[in-house]
Amino acid sequence: MYQTFRDYVAGILIDLDGVDSQLVFLVMLIIAAAIVLDAITMIARKKRREVGLDIKRAQPLSIDGSKSLPHRHYVSEKQGLAGKPDALTVEDGFIIPVERKPLAKKLRDRYVAQLLVYMRLIEEFEGKRPPYGYLILGPGARRVKIDNSERRQAWLQEILDQMRGILAGNATVATPHPKKCSRCDVREACAHRADIAIEVPRTPSISKIIQ
Ligand code: SF4
């Protein structure tokens, strides 16, 4: 096998002996450029896959960590919100936020809330309300589409109002979870554990809000 390859290369070199050296150099340069270009394309494709941008009709606009498509950091004084999506893509004329959670095992309310905040910021700074965003969950990069519905935004508003109320001096209220408390090491000494805490109304989980 090695011998065959050596004979093949030797044959090429003999053939090239009569060819203009500048032409050989040019051909080698083109081949090297093609190899480098191919490697760059592969890396870019891998990066897109990681952040969930391997969507057929999507046009990447920004990717965190990319020099050619730098990320966008939105800071809104008006809304009192700020955010830096992992990526932005353009789909059907809309700017769509993409947020990656590589360690996530399941969809969580806080991920949805973060994406909904991004959608508010994009609407303010880019001038068009995104109809949805994407969460990319886990090492397998499972893509979950989150609609930017009025109901979800109302849910987010409730949480923001609670947080701003606490910042303004409202009392904080513990909302312990029975399952977590039952496994907690300090449950015996905790005055807030689920089985003795006063029941307080909780904001419903967004995963139960379909639209
Ligand atoms: S027992 Fe107390 S500290 Fe432990 S999880 Fe419940 S509320 Fe939190």
Instruction: For the chain, give every domain's residue range.
Output: 2-50, 59-171, 173-211
- Cα(197) to centroid(ligand 1), Å: 10
187 within ligand 1 shell (Cβ under 6 A): yes
d(CA 117, CA 146): 12
pLDDT digits (tens, 9 = 90+) for 104-150: 989 999 999 999 999 999 999 999 999 999 999 999 889 999 999 99
Q: Is 197 in the pocket of ligand 1 (CB under 6 A)?
A: no
In the chain, pLDDT over 70 holds for what percent of residues?
A: 78
For 59-171, CATH gives 3.90.320.10
176 Cα nearest atom in ligand 1? 7
Q: Is 47 in the pocket of ligand 1 (CB under 6 A)?
A: no
Asked if pLDDT for residue 96 goes beyond 70, the answer is: yes
Q: pTM above the 0.85 mark? A: no
DSSP state letters, 183-204: T-TTGGG-TT-TTTSPP-PPPP
Q: Kindly state if the Cβ of 110 falls inside 6 Å of ligand 1.
A: no
